[in-house]
Amino acid sequence: MTSRSQLRRQLRQARNQLTTAEQESAAHDLLKQLKDQAHAPLAELTPVSKVALYLTNDGEISPHAICQWLWQHNIFTYLPSIHGETLVFAHYHPDSQWQKNQFGIAEPIDTAPLSGDDMDLVLMPLVGFDLKGGRLGMGGGYYDKTFAKRSSRLIGLAHDCQQVDKLPIEDWDVPLDAIATPSLYLDISK
């Protein structure tokens, strides 16, 4: 069986080979998956909902179309910010001020960030996934540690090329409620 680090390398390479046009098309198709499916997670949100998403890095599928939709519907958006070995969530809006974390990734400055438990919906990037709901992240464990005692709905976002037959799962891997790609919405919680 392929190791997790080998899979990460292969899947990151596959998503980084997508063209700018393919990335843009995928972002819009992803939005359709999240709002047009039966029991679609975006359709269940209200203006008091808190949704965490992320800034695209390393070829990840972009949630920018989702973010625009959330803003149009006056739904609060948050971005992860590294806090020790876990994540907190900084309010994200068009006038956000920015700082870079230790990995060089921009994070909004928020003097009162929220915890993962405060989020109603968390849209998180994946490196890989399988149809049983297995997920493979970047390997830092930030999402796993943050959501070890889950109360938020967790949906992994990925390109279709990031699907594998079977992932090696570890005890600390926090399961997802759903996985969304440009052509798939897989509800695992049912």
Q: Which domains occur in the chain, in start order? A: 4-187 (3.40.50.10420)
Whether the pLDDT of residue 69 is over 60: the answer is: yes
Rounded to an integer, the average pLDDT of 29-54 is 90
- Predicted local distance difference test score (pLDDT) of residue 38: 65
Contacts of 181 (CB under 8 A, 6+ apart): 30, 33, 61, 157, 158, 159, 160, 162, 163
DSSP state of 102: T
Work out the pLDDT band at 3, boundaries 50, 70, 90. Answer: confident
Rounded to an integer, the average pLDDT of 18-43 is 92
The token pair that represents 65 in the structure block: 């179309």
Residues 119/51, Cβ–Cβ less than 8 Å: yes
CA distances from 141 to 51, 138, 144 (A): 20, 8, 5
Question: pLDDT for 110-144, tens place per residue?
Answer: 999 999 999 999 999 999 999 988 888 887 889 98
Question: pLDDT for 76-88, tens place per residue?
Answer: 999 999 999 999 9
